[in-house]
């Protein structure tokens, strides 16, 4: 059900009527919510039976993969080695997961999708990869070829393909949760972290602890666990996330383009690049062992992998800042329409400004103001991404464009409701109203005059928004394009 302050009922119809690549209409006219009104809840989405079957199949597949890996590792390693490997492999996981969550600060993804990607990589990808790698090694041995070729020719293909399968499913069935390359890096990175964790159990518990105990006793087993931990996790721990991040870049590009060719080729190119990097990484120790030149590994590590790693870190940091600046590029449309004020958009441009806005909200409205400000910032970021997607023409079908218009309106209503918790409560802010073009401030002598917005706004939210006119004028599309009806403040 629509909130009582829902306005501009024909906006979704006009959005659905616009052909792909046509002129994007301005945001709908704002209507003021009643003071203190709670934010409208997004309507619950009832999945159809096909989506339900897909969800049930994914859950069962993850559960089956988890049972298979627990049984396989427990049978091959033994209880003691499995426990040691599990503890050692889990240690770096919080650090790696925190890095990806830090990258996703502006528009955090739903926890259920993050857990899904991690579990997919940890159980489904490892189970399938283990079966395929063992089959490949047996075939190479039957053909009289070195089984080491499995690590170079088979493992990169199947491991990168299965690690990427989970994020690809998200892109297909939950495309709106993919807001760009940052989300691709986060989803694929968590899948790779889950995969690496389970794989490290095998190396640390089997090749480390169990082998050492069988040869010389528990002390040697502990020493080998520490040695493998240093080399495999502290030095080379970025390998799996680095490889799969290439696929993440491709998926992110596909999610933010309307070109069908790019939607198909970008993920494919990213996946192929991930396989090539993975195969090259596995080839280095194989060549070093075959030639007796261990320096090959050092050259490959320092000359190839480290530069690529720092390049990806630089790209991730730049993308994180880009996502913050997107609000400054996109939300001015809503400033001109009267939904937001210029300082609000400026306060969304960086994490430091957002923190300052939350501090301000706590000062003027307490804990409720902080919660409302945090939700307001999240909704504003999603609104900016949605508007950017409209500009890019991501929604090609009329039903998709109608859904985008409906989601835009729901976000705008939520933003309007969140603002009521803290706007107009600061005694240090000037008394005035923003009409979409300029301020109308009341001065100590009782006079009221229009004031142009400063070039560099510094106050998070100084004034309330202009109330809607009693009888809003409908939008129309003359020959010159879309125009907004005149503001009630214009004289």
Our separate counts of H helices and E strands in the chain read: 19, 4
Cα-based distances in Å from 232 to 198, 295, 419: 13, 17, 49
Interior angle at CA 367, CA 366 and CA 371, nearest 5: 125
State which H helix or E strand residue 378 sits in. helix 351-392
Q: Write down the pLDDT at residue 57.
A: 84
Question: How many angstroms separate the CA atoms of 305 and 162, rounded?
Answer: 22
Q: Write down the pLDDT at residue 217.
A: 86
For the chain (length 491 residues), average pLDDT per consecutive 10? Answer: 34 44 57 50 55 80 92 90 93 93 85 94 96 94 89 95 95 84 94 95 91 86 92 89 95 90 94 95 88 84 88 90 85 85 85 88 88 92 90 84 88 89 74 74 74 63 51 38 34 31
pTM over 0.95: no
Question: How many angstroms separate the CA atoms of 443 and 463, rounded?
Answer: 14
Q: Write down the pLDDT at residue 464.
A: 56
Tokens of 482: 């879309």
Residue 479, C-beta contacts closer than 8 angstroms, at least 6 positions apart: none
- Distance from CA of residue 302 to its chain's centroid? 30
Q: Strand 464-465 vs strand 432-434: parallel, antiparallel, or unpaired?
A: parallel
Contact 100, 118 (CB under 8 A): no
Tokens of 14: 């006009």
Count of CB atoms situated within 10 Å of the CB of 350? 16
Q: Write down the pLDDT at residue 288.
A: 87
């Amino acid at each position: 059900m629509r909130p009582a302050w829902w306005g501009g009922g024909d906006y979704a119809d006009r959005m659905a009527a616009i052909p792909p690549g046509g002129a994007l209409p301005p945001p709908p006219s704002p209507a003021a919510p009643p003071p203190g009104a709670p934010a409208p809840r997004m309507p619950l989405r009832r999945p159809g039976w096909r989506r339900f079957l897909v969800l049930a199949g994914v859950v069962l597949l993850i559960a089956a993969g988890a049972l298979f890996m627990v049984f396989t590792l427990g049978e091959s390693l033994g209880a003691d080695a499995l426990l040691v490997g599990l503890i050692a492999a889990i240690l770096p996981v919080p650090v790696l997961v925190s890095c990806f969550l830090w990258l996703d600060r502006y528009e955090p993804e739903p926890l259920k999708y993050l857990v899904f990607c991690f579990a997919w990589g940890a159980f489904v990808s490892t189970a399938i990869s283990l079966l395929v790698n063992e089959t490949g090694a047996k075939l190479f041995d039957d053909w009289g070829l070195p089984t080491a070729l499995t690590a170079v020719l088979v493992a990169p293909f199947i491991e990168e393909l299965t690690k990427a399968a989970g994020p690809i499913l998200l892109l297909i069935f939950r495309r709106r949760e993919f807001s760009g390359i940052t989300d691709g890096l986060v989803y694929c990175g968590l899948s790779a972290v889950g995969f690496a964790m389970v794989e490290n159990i095998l190396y640390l518990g089997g090749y480390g602890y169990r082998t050492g105990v069988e040869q010389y006793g528990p002390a040697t087993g502990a020493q080998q666990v520490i040695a493998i931990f240093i080399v495999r996790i502290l030095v080379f721990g970025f390998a799996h996330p680095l490889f799969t991040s290439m696929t993440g870049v491709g998926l992110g590009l596909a999610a933010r383009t309307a070109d069908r060719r790019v939607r198909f080729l970008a993920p494919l190119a990213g996946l192929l690049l991930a396989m090539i990097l993975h195969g090259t990484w596995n080839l280095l120790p194989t060549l070093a062992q075959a030639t007796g030149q261990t320096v090959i590994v050092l050259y490959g590590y320092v000359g190839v992998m480290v530069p690529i790693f720092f390049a990806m870190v630089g790209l991730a940091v730049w993308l994180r800042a880009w996502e913050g600046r997107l609000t400054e590029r996109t939300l001015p449309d809503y400033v001109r329409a009267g939904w937001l004020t210029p300082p609000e958009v400026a306060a969304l441009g960086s994490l430091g400004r957002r923190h300052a806005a939350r501090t301000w909200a706590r000062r003027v409205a307490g804990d409720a103001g902080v919660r409302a400000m945090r939700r307001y910032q999240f909704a504003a970021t999603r609104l900016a991404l949605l508007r950017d997607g409209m500009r890019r023409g991501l929604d090609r079908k009329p039903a998709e464009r109608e859904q985008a218009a409906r989601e835009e309106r729901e976000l705008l209503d939520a933003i309007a409701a969140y603002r009521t918790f803290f706007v107009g409560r600061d005694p240090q802010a000037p008394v005035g109203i923003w009409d979409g073009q300029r301020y109308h401030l009341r001065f100590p002598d009782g006079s009221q005059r229009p004031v142009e917005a400063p070039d560099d706004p510094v106050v998070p939210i100084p004034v309330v928004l202009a109330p809607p006119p009693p009888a809003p004028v409908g939008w129309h599309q003359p020959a010159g394009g879309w125009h907004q009806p005149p503001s009630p403040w214009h004289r």
